[in-house]
Chain A
């Protein structure tokens, strides 16, 4: 095997100009693959960070059976002992943030204006550090128990600005009317009209008082970035089988997971196109090179060289060419990342995002492996047909060829 690889490697230097042309084709293909994959990775990374740090956290914990059902009296299946659950969660070392929440449907009144909205009770001082992707356009996030932040459309309809007071009116879970006066701390913009027109956030304690509950609907959690969610999920389930932890990918399936799947299919198609271009680019050159070697191959076969061994040598040549091209492609892609693309690529706002964002190439180890293996496969496949054709010829015809 060593001698086959050694001969194959030396054969790459037979026609240096042709090998260089092939290497350039493969390297460009490999770097295009890698950059495109890393660019997609960068977008997904940004989107993942937006999704996690914008709303969901790394996952959310519900009481068993709550998330999958629509209930007439949802508060009856909320987490009833949040302090106890929080204490247990805080013992899981991978969990770095615990954010209990409640959904509140209420009327917001300002002067004679009265609008319905969907709100969320949150522990602001905890959330403000972790959920740093909320786009506050005016004012600031909630900083005390008397404040509220509103969606831009809702604030416009109520004609309020930071510093104004609004009245939040709702029913307790027992059916009695309840209300609170809160000061507008900030106005946010989520990019979706339906959210901007109806959504507001208030302190969790205020929401619990408004609904007259001690429970929480869900607990969002933040984990260490490099931690596998499934590990945390398993620990939570083992700790309390009544809890149902769900990852942000599932919670945001419509956007995050579908975007991921969409980009994957798109990438698979572009990858195929790149590999076909690379394969066709070097096919002619490989065919030519093999054609020129017909007499040499004939002489080797006349002296007893087996077809099998020649096949191994010639396929190894394509493989080594692909390998070297792939490695050059990686160097090229990483070089571009460190130079021309080092400041990132400015992208227009994506789905669910309201401001332009900067994408940096996001390389994962698997990207490097596929940037080597795929061009190698393309080179081998491009070489297979001419190799088979050459080795299928009789020795006499090979010897007559040159």
Chain B
């Protein structure tokens, strides 16, 4: 199967009190298209930083970051911005929805920028909302929804772009277990229905259970890779 990511000798560090603190140490791994993978490990181990680098939010200090065949480790912000818009969807623990827009408007936020017609954008957004069971909430604002519903809207916003990959940072951390299960099932359904790749950073054992590949991280290194 074609590689989605090919990561070689990836290193990253942060400056803290004028000192360099290594956060990722020489990571190398591949991820295939259509993957459903998660990175697990204790806090401070570099999961979020790795997700940021995979999502082209941060440039790595060293190493190769090959995404869909292109080495983007040193790509300019303009190039990364374009790829983020067209190929990457991000979901966060804190949802980060726009409170003044309705569920439908949040979901379809990026679609006009992708060059789709109004009718097509509308249909896509409504299809995604239906897939996530939000068809009865399209005119509501995020403040009127439960945590689980808000997270589903955030997923809908990421997925409505029809990205190649969805990166989710602790997507179930703020949810009760029942809602978390619904969300994980929604991810799985989307993977099957749309062929979208999903990569998570998580502490949630439920999510780990559903993942096809699990990377265990510790101190900026991948300790093990388990294909389930």
Do they bind each other?
A: yes
Residues of A within 8 A of B (CB): 3, 7, 10-11, 13-14, 295-296, 298-307, 309, 394-396, 399, 402
Chain B residues, Cβ within 8 Å of A305: 85, 110, 113
- Are the CB atoms of A303 and B101 closer together than 8 Å? no
Chain B residues, Cβ within 8 Å of A10: 100-101
A10 to B90, CA, bound (A): 24
- Are the CB atoms of A304 and B52 closer together than 8 Å? no
- Are the CB atoms of B90 and A302 closer together than 8 Å? yes
- Are the CB atoms of B113 and A396 closer together than 8 Å? no
Chain B residues, Cβ within 8 Å of A300: 96, 98, 109
Chain A residues, Cβ within 8 Å of B47: none
One of B89, B94, B101, B158 near A295 (C-beta < 8 A): B94
Residue in A closest to B114 when the chains form the complex, CB atoms: A304
B113-170, CB < 8 A from A = 113, 154, 157-158, 161
A307 to B58, CA, bound (A): 15
A139 to B112, CA, bound (A): 81
Chain B residues, Cβ within 8 Å of A303: 84-85, 88-90, 110, 157-158, 161
Mark interface residues in B30-74 (1 if CB within 8 Å of A CB, else 0): 000000000000000000010010010110000000000000000
Residue in A closest to B167 when the chains form the complex, CB atoms: A302
CB distance from B218 to the nearest CB of A (A): 21
Chain A residues, Cβ within 8 Å of B85: 303-306
- Are the CB atoms of B58 and A394 closer together than 8 Å? yes
A22 to B112, CA, bound (A): 31
Interface check B22, CB cutoff 8 A: no
* Contacts known (A304-B85, A304-B110, A396-B57); A299 close to B96, Cβ less than 8 A: yes
- Are the CB atoms of A298 and B113 closer together than 8 Å? no
Chain B residues, Cβ within 8 Å of A302: 55, 57, 84, 90, 92
CB distance from A303 to the nearest CB of B (A): 5
Chain B residues, Cβ within 8 Å of A14: 99-100
A153 to B21, CA, bound (A): 93
- Are the CB atoms of B110 and A395 closer together than 8 Å? no
A13 to B143, CA, bound (A): 13
- Are the CB atoms of B81 and A304 closer together than 8 Å? yes
Residue in B closest to A10 when the chains form the complex, CB atoms: B100
Q: Can you give 5 A-B contacts (C-beta < 8 A)?
A: A296-B96, A302-B57, A304-B83, A304-B110, A395-B52
A306 to B113, CA, bound (A): 10
- Are the CB atoms of B96 and A298 closer together than 8 Å? yes
One of B84, B94, B97, B101 near A7 (C-beta < 8 A): B101
Chain B residues, Cβ within 8 Å of A301: 57, 81, 84
Residue in A closest to B101 when the chains form the complex, CB atoms: A10
Interface check B82, CB cutoff 8 A: yes
A11 to B101, CA, bound (A): 8
A394 to B154, CA, bound (A): 21
Other than A299-B90, A304-B88, give 19 A-B pairs with Cβ distance below 8 A.
A3-B112, A7-B101, A10-B100, A11-B98, A295-B94, A300-B96, A301-B81, A302-B84, A302-B90, A303-B157, A304-B81, A304-B110, A304-B113, A305-B85, A305-B110, A306-B85, A394-B57, A399-B57, A402-B94
Residue in B closest to A12 when the chains form the complex, CB atoms: B100
A296 to B99, CA, bound (A): 10
Mark interface residues in B171-195 (1 if CB within 8 Å of A CB, else 0): 0000000000000000000000000
Chain A residues, Cβ within 8 Å of B154: 299
